[in-house]
Structures are given as structure tokens and as C-alpha cells.
Amino acid sequence: MPDILRVFLDSNILFSVTHKPNHGFLRFWTTPEIVVMTSLYAARETRRNCKNQSQSQRLETLLEQTVIVSAASHNARPPDIDLPAKDVPILAAAIDASADLLITGDKDHFSLWMNRPLKTRHGSLIIMRPRHFLDWLGHEF
């Protein structure tokens, strides 16, 4: 395992953590061995879905502590992975950002590729559900 994990968060994870000031997913930001990343696309999507001012404020505070990458080329996605159009920018940005892990709650669209390395042009990427990652993280650190 690398000394530092580059962890890319899907918008559904960002949105979940805006609901409670003490959400368990805050561990992504409080673990020193993790560099939290997301994309402009995911940040915009999350902003659109925030329902009130407190959610928006929590999101902006977290985004200040997050590496935000710009839009990625759709060509970054491995050709054998078929995703809905709304999910392609998430996977492509995670690959272009050389993330080690993509954390998503979207089991409907990403489940076929979860918990196993995907070969990318930058090495490999593992897609995980957030609870699985946090359980794994608890054993590793």
C-alpha cells in the first residue's frame, strides 16, 4: 500500500457528508495518509443538490480541503467499461488525476468493477463503496 492514498470522491459521497456535521465519511478528510480529490463536475453536481445553507456551507468547507481536478478526457475511461453518460466524467477524472481509489455509493452503475484493480494509463484504480473503504482503512491504519 502506498504511503499516501489519492482518494477520489464521487458527488454522492460529497452530498452524503453534507447532511450531518459529524458524518462518518469525514474520516476521508481527517486521515493524514489520504489526499481527498474530486472533480469540478462532481463539486458542481453536489452544489446543485444541496438543499439548505448548512449543507452548502459544510460542502464549501470540505471543498477547501479537497484537491479539485478539472474535467477529464472521456478517452481516459478504459474502453471495456460501459457507464451511463453522467458517470463517465467521474471515472475519467479519477483516472486522469491518477487516483488510487474511486469511492462511490453508486452500486447500480459501478458494481461490476468494484473492489478489483482496473488497468488505466496511469497504473490502476480500485472502485469501492464508502463503508467498504472505511472498514479497510480501519484495518490498515
pLDDT for position 42: 94
**113 versus 6: which is more confidently predicted?**
6
Residues 47-54: contacts with CB within 8 Å, 24+ apart?
49/11, 49/15, 50/15, 50/18
Count CB atoms within 10 A of the CB of residue 109.
Answer: 16
Could you give the 3-state DSSP secondary structure of residue 111? helix
Residue 120 per-residue DSSP state: E
Strand partners, 38: 68
Q: Is 8 left (phi over 0), alpha (psi -120 to 50) or beta?
A: beta
Residue 74: pLDDT band by 50, 70, 90 thresholds? low
The least confident of 74-83, 94-103, 109-118, 125-134 is 74-83
Beta strand extents in 10-81 (DSSP E only): 34-39, 67-69
Q: Which cell numbers in the block locate residue 101?
A: 481509489
pLDDT for position 44: 94
- Compute the distance between CA of residue 86 and CA of residue 84 in angstroms, rounded to an integer: 6
**80 versus 136: which is more confidently predicted?**
136
Q: Across the chain, what does the average pLDDT equal?
A: 85
Average pLDDT over residues 108-131: 79
Identify the helix (H) or strand (E) that includes residue 134. Answer: helix 130-140
**Given a cut of 90, is residue 136 above it in pLDDT?**
no
Structural domains of the chain ordered from first start: 5-140 (3.40.50.1010)
Average pLDDT over residues 40-66: 95
Q: What is the pTM of this model?
A: 0.88
